[in-house]
Amino acid sequence: MLTIGAYTNISKIKEYISLEFEKITPKALIPTYTIAKKGDIDFLYYEIDDDVLAQNYNFFFSDALKLHATSALTNLIMDFIRFEIVKEILEIHYQKYASIERIKILEMTRAFFYENENNEDPNAFNYSYRKEIMDRLMDFFEDSNEFLLEGFVLFRLKDYRGKLEMVVRHIVSEYETQKEYKEFLRLLKYFVDVQEMKEEIIHIIGLKEGGFKIYDKDKNDITERCKEEYKQDFSDKEINYDDLLVSALITIAPRQIVIHHYEAIQNKPLIETISSIFQGKVTLCPKCEFCLNSNEIN
């Protein structure tokens, strides 16, 4: 008999175990189960009829059953339990965030793990930890046929919880950075909206080496002029050309911005930033006479 218990989520455990046990052959050896509650704990009892077991006896079947249970519980922990732990970490240590913000951080954490699910480098920050969880489950089942999910997580995966806390700190830092960036963009947008327009239209053309040039409404190249103005405002800083472009556009405050050969601009988030600040004023030119006559991209 194999006994699996949990304070919560017993139906989800049954779902994962059932999916894994369906792989057992011959099918007659798929265990039947009963559910019973003892105090606050729900238990799943898996067993095989003695007559069926006698007819299909295999010395390795007990180990195979535990291997299937190990695989199912590993998948459960990776798919579900670890995010329950993350949720708990957020509720305990990050109460300053509103519930909607904690949900956003949880989803960012989920995305972080799924994007790096197959990282097998133990020294990597985003190491998946799947192998360790499976090994510890196998070690557990070598000594016992009775498993309590919460007890296993609490005592056998204590270091994994510490890893999850580190990941959450990292994601919270990213979330704060994103918040600050969005607030910065909001302020820039407000500044642009209240500023007096100095140019009707500004043209930006992407260069084949990945940069850009800036032109006024008469198609005059004003890139160098913008550089000089940038140097005056930021004399102690080396020129950052992405900052230069944003700064120039904010200073000029054009009614319309047309970006030509935008596919050549290597920093694609820069285009998104400009579009966010100058909402409704940015056009990505598919191809026009200025594009065709320009030697910058050819």
Residue-wise pLDDT tens digits, 1-15: 789 999 999 999 999
* Helices and strands in the chain, H and E counts: 12, 8
Amino acid at 217: K
| 3-state DSSP assignment of residue 237 | coil
What are the tokens at 262? 């935008």
Cβ pair 216, 202 in contact under 8 A: yes
Peptide bond between residue 26 and the one before it cis (omega within 30 degrees of 0): yes
Crossing angle of the two packed helices 10-21 and 61-76, in degrees rounded to 10: 130
Structure confidence at residue 59 (pLDDT): 46
- Residue 20, Cβ neighbours under 10 Å: how many? 19
Cα 214 from chain centre: 36
What pTM was estimated for this model as a whole?
Answer: 0.77
Residues 6+ apart with CB under 8 A from 150: 6, 7
Q: In what order do the strands lie in the sheet with 201-206?
A: 212-215, 201-206, 256-260, 282-284
The one-digit pLDDT tens for each residue of the chain (298 residues) are 789 999 999 999 999 999 999 988 778 778 889 999 999 999 999 987 766 665 665 544 567 788 999 999 999 999 999 999 999 999 999 999 999 999 999 999 999 988 766 666 666 666 778 889 999 999 999 889 899 999 999 999 999 999 999 999 999 999 999 999 899 889 998 888 888 888 899 999 988 877 889 999 888 999 888 888 877 766 656 667 888 888 889 988 899 999 998 888 888 888 999 999 999 899 998 888 887 777 555 4
What are the tokens at 60? 């390795």
Cα 42 from chain centre: 33
Structure confidence at residue 125 (pLDDT): 64
Structure confidence at residue 120 (pLDDT): 66
Nearest-5° angle of CA 61, CA 75, CA 106? Answer: 165
Which DSSP letter does residue 42 get?
Answer: E
Please state, in angstroms and rounded to a whole number, the distance separating the CA atoms of residues 15 and 241. 55
Q: Which ranges of 60-129 would DSSP assign to H, the alpha helix?
A: 61-76, 82-93, 99-115
| Cα Dmax for the chain | 92
Structure confidence at residue 236 (pLDDT): 56
Amino acid at 205: I
| 3-state DSSP assignment of residue 259 | strand
Cβ pair 129, 160 in contact under 8 A: yes
